[in-house]
Amino acid sequence: MISKVLGKKGQEMAVFAVLIGVILAFSILAIIYSIFTQLEQQKVVVLNNQVLTSFEDAKDNPIQRPGYVDPSTPPANAILLKGSLFFPGFSVFKKTISERINLPEECIAFSVHENLDNPAYIENFEDGLVFKKRLRVNIFFFCYTPVSDSNLGCKEKGSSLECIMRVNPF
């Protein structure tokens, strides 16, 4: 029936038109996917810059309280990134921070709230943090003058500051 209406040449053109439609659909999907991928990468870059800038701000405005500062209870004047959304694979390393804020790696510490200190959520290495799940958290940054019994060993490295990044639940 169709062959009588379209003829042999018309049937060949219909298949060709479907093939072109499929190619166009896949091309559009590829463009949309690349846009989403670019947006995700941009979110990581922005978040990384926020973390590094917060460390810089904390270094520029150290806590004026002498003595030991307990990282599990951030001071009221700590720099806060409230409700930040971290993606799986996002990482923060002492080396990167050290280069950015010009402070020895030994003078930088990470502290993770006990409810999040689990390799399923955040891997807390000596040299950095790696987020394993999508988490919305509060992050506190603060620097202070270390005391002689400091556990970071900054005095030996000639630094007058220690800086801590504390991750708390949102």
Does the residue 150 lie in any domain?
yes
Q: Does residue 145 lie within any of the structural domains?
A: yes
Identify the residue with better confidence: 52 or 157. Answer: 52
Decide if pLDDT at 23 tops 90. Answer: yes
pLDDT, tens digit, 9 for 90 and up, residues 79-109 = 888 888 888 888 889 888 888 888 888 888 8
Residue 29 in domain: no
Q: Are strands 108-112 and 162-169 parallel, antiparallel or unpaired?
A: parallel
Give the DSSP H/E element, type plus range, for residue 109.
Answer: strand 108-112
For residue 24, pLDDT beyond 90: yes
Evaluate whether residue 112 is within a structural domain.
Answer: yes
Evaluate whether 105 touches 95 at the Cβ level (below 8 Å).
yes
| 158 domain-assigned | yes
Higher pLDDT, 17 or 149: 17
Each as own residue / partner, the long-range contacts of residues 5-14 (CB below 8 Å, 24 or more positions apart, any chain) are none
State how far the Cα of 164 lies from the Cα of 59, in Å rounded to an integer: 10
Evaluate whether residue 3 is within a structural domain: no
Residue 2: inside a domain: no
State pTM to two decimals.
0.69
Q: Which residues 6+ apart lie within 8 Å of 78 measured at CB?
A: 58, 63, 140, 141, 142, 166
As a whole number, mean pLDDT of residues 125-139 equals: 87
Query: What is the span of the domain harbouring residue 113?
Result: 38-169
Question: Is residue 130 in some structural domain?
Answer: yes
Q: How many domains does the chain have?
A: 1
Q: Residue 1's pLDDT is what? A: 47
- Averaged pLDDT for residues 106-118: 84
- CB-based contacts of 63-72 (< 8 A; 24+ apart in sequence): 63/142, 63/143, 63/144, 65/144, 66/145, 66/147, 67/147, 68/147, 68/149, 68/150, 69/142, 69/144, 69/164, 71/109, 71/111, 71/164, 71/166, 72/111, 72/113, 72/166
